[in-house]
Amino acid sequence: MSQSITFQVQPGGSLRGEIRVPGDKSMSHRSIMLGSLAEGVTHVRGFLNAEDAMSTLEAFRAMGVKIEGPVNGEVTIHGVGKHGLQAPAQPLYLGNSGTSMRLLSGLLAGQSFDSVLTGDKSLESRPMRRVTAPLALMGAEIETQENGTAPLHIKGKGNLKGINYEMPIASAQVKSCLLLAGMYAEGDTVVTEPAPTRDHTERMLTGFGYPVKRDGSTATINNQGQLTATQIDVPSDISSAAFFLVGASIAPDSDVTLKHVGINPTRTGVIDILRLMGADIEVLNQRSVGGEPVADLRVRSSKLKGIDIPEHLVPLAIDEFPVLFVAAACAEGRTVLTGAKELRVKESDRIQVMADGLQILGVDAQPTEDGMVINGGAIGTGRVDSHGDHRIAMSFSIAGLRASGAITIDDCANVNTSFKEFKDLATQLGLKLSVI
């Protein structure tokens, strides 16, 4: 994959129109995993055909699962049952996808064959002890590099034991990893989280007929269930919609409707935070699709005000902070984020990288250990580096709507990992974005 994609955004403009952003990435990953382990044939609509979700799909193909598609977001998975996976001939390469690696580590710890998980340079530098340590308590044998990073060498012994685990940090990936391992463990696996995180795994397990008990912040699973094939209609990804929620809020004379967006309450922090800042966001046509709440979101320009972001909303908007920092830069007054240390170990150190870029553009943005302080004002012009992080690249593209001159963004190839239609949809709505 060429790393030399550079975005350039000409300043100004407004966003107007109606679009449907691609399918939710979290749910696309999980539909492949659970569909592969189900009895029967699962049909998925709205699958996100981007590199991260394709990494999961290719991994299951490499373990003997027949998967047709994706064609126009449709995938057909011929499930092999809970114990039907075959040993992969080679290490499973997961590209840039932290979700694939963390969830698969749990799933593969419960198999009777050995496996190896690898990824690109960015993924192989991300912290994996947060999953390997609790899996070891369940009896898993996983070898990591000295500093706890991938490649992960997983010994398939097939004799996991359930544990009662209180998670030290709120992470949907760690929770999901342990629940998937718990499907193969003797006795109950009980996972308690310190703050709510996205619950797509629990909802989708239930959708496939696998018993999961939920009680407040605790989820319990055991090895007594089985998965039965189902139909899945993946809603649009609110993390992708977030760029347009912010863009239409900050650009004058904007009016955008985003269709069929997943509004799972564990993911709507971005809407809550923008509304606290004064954004005009209407939630229309609410409905439920396959156990997940969905709605159309209409956003119109508004004058945003700086706020202290409530800490309880932080885990519910963790992926949306890069673009929320752009909203803060356009808001009147000061915005303060605390309690978001997790942002430092994403695809890049999102606190430092966003602060560096905003400062280059003339914004008063001061990074702190666990967040940022931004004094809203004018956005200037300049050249910023996304550090190969898709969300950083897209966030600075949106900043062009309020910039005084062109913004050039280097190292944007990774936008393809999550949202390769971004450029087309953004320009269709009115963003003056080109690839140079």
Core vs surface per residue 194-208: b (16+ CB within 10 A) or e: ebbbbbbbbbbbebb
User: The tokens of 14 are what?
Assistant: 């407004």
Answer for the pair 148, 156: CB distance below 8 angstroms, yes or no: no
Q: What is the mean pLDDT of residues 323-351?
A: 95
Closest Cα to residue 362, out of 412, 403, 307? Answer: 403
Residue that the structure tokens 């919609």 belong to: 241
**Tens digit of pLDDT for each residue in 92-106?**
999 999 999 999 999
By DSSP bridging, strand 164-166 and strand 16-19 are unpaired
Q: Would you say residue 417 has pLDDT above 90?
A: no
Contact 422, 415 (CB under 8 A): yes
pLDDT for the residue 2: 47
Give Cα separations from 338 to 184, 198, 312, 354 (angstroms): 38, 20, 10, 15
Is 319 known to be catalytic?
yes
How confident is residue 170, by pLDDT bands cut at 50, 70 and 90?
confident
- The total of other beta-carbon atoms located within 10 Å of residue 112's CB is 12
Q: Which pLDDT band holds residue 144 (cuts at 50, 70, 90)?
A: very high
* Cis, bond preceding 151 (omega within 30 deg of 0): yes
Cα-based angle 348, 352, 354 (whole degrees, multiple of 5) = 85
Q: Tell me the three-class secondary structure of 219-237, residue by residue.
A: EEECCCCCCECCEEECCEC
Q: Each residue of 354-405: pLDDT tens digit?
A: 999 999 999 999 999 999 999 999 999 999 999 999 999 999 999 999 999 9
Residue 3: what pLDDT? 55
Angle at 42 between CA 41 and CA 46, to 5 degrees: 150
d(CA 95, CA 92): 9
Which member of 319, 385, 389, 411 is catalytic?
319
Q: Which domains does the chain have, with CATH numbers?
A: 7-23+235-435 (3.65.10.10), 25-233 (3.65.10.10)
The two three-digit tokens of residue 144, written as one number:
């990591």
Q: Model confidence over 35-45: pLDDT tens digits?
A: 999 999 999 99
Tokens of 274: 């923008």
Mean pLDDT (the chain, rounded): 95
Section 266-295 average pLDDT: 94
What average pLDDT score do residues 170-188 get? 96
Write the secondary structure of 369-431 as one string of H (helix), E (strand) and C (coil).
Answer: CCEEEEECCCECCEEEECCCCHHHHHHHHHHHHHECCCEEEECCCCHHHHCCCHHHHHHHHCC
- The pTM is what? 0.84
Distances 260 to 34, 160, 227 between C-alpha atoms, Å? 23, 40, 27
108 vs 170 pLDDT, higher one: 108
Q: Which two tokens stand for residue 212?
A: 């999961």
The sign of the dihedral angle between the CA atoms of 267, 272, 273, 274 is: positive
